[in-house]
Amino acid sequence: MNTIPTPQIDYFQVAPMLIVLGAAVIGVLAEAILPRRQRYLAQVAISFVGLLSALVMAVFVFKRLDPNSLSPKRGQVVAMGSLAIDGPTLFTWALVLIFGLLALMIFAERHLEGGVLAFAGQAAAMPGTEAEREASSRGLEHTEVFPLLLFAVGGMMMFPASTDMLALFVALEVFSLPLYLLCGLARRRRLLSQEAALKYFLLGAFSSAFFVYGISLVYGFAGSMSYAGIAQAVAGSSDSKVLLYGGLGLMVAGLLFKVGAVPFHNWTPDVYQGAPTAVTAFMAAGTKVAAFVALLRLMYVAFGAIHVNWAPMIWIVAILTMVIGSVVAVAQTDVKRLLAYSSVAHAGFILVGLLGIRALGEVGPQDADGVTAVLFYLTTYGFMTLAAFTIVTLVRDANGEATSMKHWAGLGKKSPLLAGVFAFLLLAMAGLPLTSGFTGKWVVFAAAMSAGAWPLVVVAVLISVVALVFYIRIIVVMFFADSEDNGVSVAIPSPLTSTVIMIGTAVTLALGLIPGPLLDLLSRVGVFIR
């Protein structure tokens, strides 16, 4: 009779993730135990302490790595072969945790809604009913958003670390489910928010189905759930590979859905627009990082041997994503939707970088240019998009955030500083020099060029020109359009929000002026282990 082995878990290595998930659980408990008045402070404190100590722990674990040495110093596969704790994982963890901390600050913002959170007072109350009005007049708020945020962060940490298809799937759901919920919790425009949440959930479930089906096909081919086993089967087998390609395609479809690549992007504009802007900011930054690193790991660690076979497919998707994302963005009239399309276009640029990686299996750290480029791009994009969405929360009229572009007309006169910062972030997204966006695009394009993907780089450069149009259009509207008296004003936030904007902008500027240190760090991050 078979015995189920006791799982061996190296708690030290996975501690950062466990701390976050543990804090989330404590948060749930606190929600049940503490009186309503104390919950806000307690939740913020728990989340803050949890994220910060996880970050410290992640740095601590990272310090013990030596990418140039042999295993186990350059990384270990832990938790029964389901999680890889290596350089890229820990860098991603640190990044996700920093984004989590920044997101926590904008989640905790209470100045903008007159002393309550920007989340629904009582989510169960139907929009427009007496119950909702009552909830709002009693000043109710859902402090559950903080544990939800922590769960999402925990999932986003597990996702890129997974080296086992089941772990990958679990992680996917762990970070997706809290996001579905959070999307529906907007205090204002609740119908739109709920619609967004439902859409996201339905389509997410749909894509998960593809994903799981893909897993089963790949398992059918390889007979193993672990990346190492799959890699072995892929490299060794001479059987028909229909199962393999079918499974790979469906899994990739599921992951491309998460990163918002065309044609799996349709949810992005609707969800980004409907979700509470704080959630959008977190989603845009965090999900992209986690999902792209997970995609990288899956494609190169498990399927690296057939790199040449799947690369054309990524070419097609990358081109479609850049073109559709940028072109459709030109026609947008809503700032949040526009930023959503911009995030789609950015996903395309990151895919270009993904193709800059020639082979991951046996490369030394000095060859991992493509990985460096992708991680760098993700870092820059995360900071600038967080700051940009945070600025969106500040431009308000009587109905809350005023995201229509015509409301932004003349903002440069009302608040030159804010409009100036936003313009700077937009130029960074467009990839102008002196911003991190330029450096990011440059390293990504350079990596793709050196891997011989020059046609892709040509398309990417041309598309960057198109992208410039819609970014600059906002700047033109802000600074050169006549401002009408439309009741739009720039709210003065608490230091929490200002800090996020400041950090995002400062990092964007710093990485534009002196990208060297981060690039150095990334080149020492090392390889994905299996």
Partner 1 sequence: MLNSLSVLSSQSPVVAPQGAGDMTIPLILVLALPAAGAAILLLGGRRTDRFGHLVGTAAALGSFVCALVLFFNLLGQPADSRAIQVDLWTWFSAGRWQVELGLLYDQLSALFLLLITGVGSLIHVYSIGYMAHDDRRRRFFAYLNLFVAAMLMLVLASDFVGLFLGWEGVGLASYLLIGFWQHKPTAAAAQKKAFVINRVGDIGLSLGISLILATFGTTSFAQVSELAHEANTGVLTAIGLLLLLAACGKSAQFPLQTWLLDAMEGPTPVSALIHAATMVTAGVYLIVRSNFIFDLAPDARSAVVAVGTITLLMGAAIGCAKDDIKKVLAGSTMSQIGYMIMASGLGTVGYAFAIFHLLTHGFFKANMFLGAGSVMHGTNDDVDMRHYGALRKAMPVTFLTFAMGYLAIIGFPGFSGFWSKDKIIEAALGENLLVGICAIIGAAVTGFYMTRLMLMTFFTKPRWEEDVHPHESPKVMTVPLIVLAALSVLGGLLLINDWIVKFLAPVVGEVHEHHPPIPAVAVSVIAVLVVAVGVALAWFLVGKKDVPREAPEDVSPFVTLARNEFFADAFNDEVIAQPGLKMIKGLHAFDDGVVDGAVMGGASAVGGLAEVSRKLQNGFVRSYALSLVGGAVLVLLALLVVNL
Question: Which residues make up the interface to partner 1 (CB under 8 A)?
Answer: 198-199, 202-203, 206-207, 210, 241-242, 245-246, 248-250, 252-253, 256-257, 262-264, 266-267, 269-270, 306, 309-310, 312-313, 316-317, 324, 327-332, 466, 469
Nearest to 112 by CA among 491, 495, 499: 491
Smallest distance from the beta carbon of 428 to partner 1, in angstroms? 22
* CB 505, min distance to partner 1, A: 29
Structure tokens at 333: 């009239």
Nearer residue to partner 1 within complex by CB, 92 or 326: 326
What type of residue sits at position 221? F
Burial class from Cβ neighbours inside 10 Å (0-12, 13-18, 19+) for residue 222 reads: buried
Number of Cα atoms under 13 Å in the Cβ half of residue 24: 22
- 489: which strand partners? 396
Nearer to partner 1, 182 or 329 (CB): 329
Closer residue to partner 1 in complex, CB, 108/323: 323
Beta bridge partner(s), residue 75:
86
Distance, CA of 354 to CA of 340 (rounded, Å): 21
List Cα–Cα distances, 25 to 32, 104, 146, 460, in angstroms: 11, 16, 11, 44
Is the Cβ–Cβ distance between 436 and 377 less than 8 Å? no
- Backbone phi, then psi, for 203, in 5-degree steps? -70, -35
| CA count, 13 A, side-chain hemisphere, 333 | 3
Shortest CB 445 distance to partner 1, Å: 19
Please, which residue, 249 or 365, has the CB nearer to partner 1?
A: 249
> Comparing C-alpha atoms, which of 302, 388, 407 is closest to residue 346?
388
DSSP lists the bridge partners of residue 86 as: 75
The torsion of the CA quartet 184, 187, 192, 196, rounded to 10 degrees, works out to: -20
- Least CB distance to partner 1 at residue 328 (A): 5
The alpha carbon dihedral of 96, 98, 104, 105 has a sign of negative
Least separation in angstroms between residue 15's CB and partner 1 is: 37
Nearest distance in Å: CB 231, partner 1: 17
DSSP string, 451-505: TT-HHHHHHHHHHHHHHHHHHHHHHHHHHHSPPP--S-EE----HHHHHHHHHHH
Give the pairing of strands 395-397 and 489-490: antiparallel
Find the shortest distance in angstroms from Cβ 203 to partner 1: 6
Closer residue to partner 1 (CB): 167 or 262: 262
CB atoms within 10 A of CB 362: 8
Q: How far is it between the farthest Cα atoms of the chain? A: 80
Q: Report the nearest approach of partner 1 to the CB of residue 219 (Å).
A: 17
Helix (H, G, I), strand (E, B) or coil at 174: helix
Comparing CB distances to partner 1, the nearer of 79 and 317 is: 317
Distance between terminal CA atoms of the chain?
A: 31
Residue placing its CB nearer to partner 1 in the complex, 85 or 217: 217
| Least distance from partner 1 to the Cβ atom of residue 475, Å | 17
Tell me how far, at minimum, the Cβ of 191 lies from partner 1, in Å.
13
Instruction: Give me the least distance between CB of 323 and partner 1, in Å please.
Output: 9
Q: Select 20 or 299, whichever has its Cβ closest to partner 1.
A: 299
Beta carbon nearer to partner 1, 267 or 383: 267
What minimum distance in Å lies between the beta carbon of 386 and partner 1? 25
Cβ proximity to partner 1, 261 vs 409, nearer residue: 261
Which CB atom, from 41 or from 469, has the smaller least distance to partner 1?
A: 469
Between residues 13 and 207, which has the closer beta carbon with respect to partner 1?
207
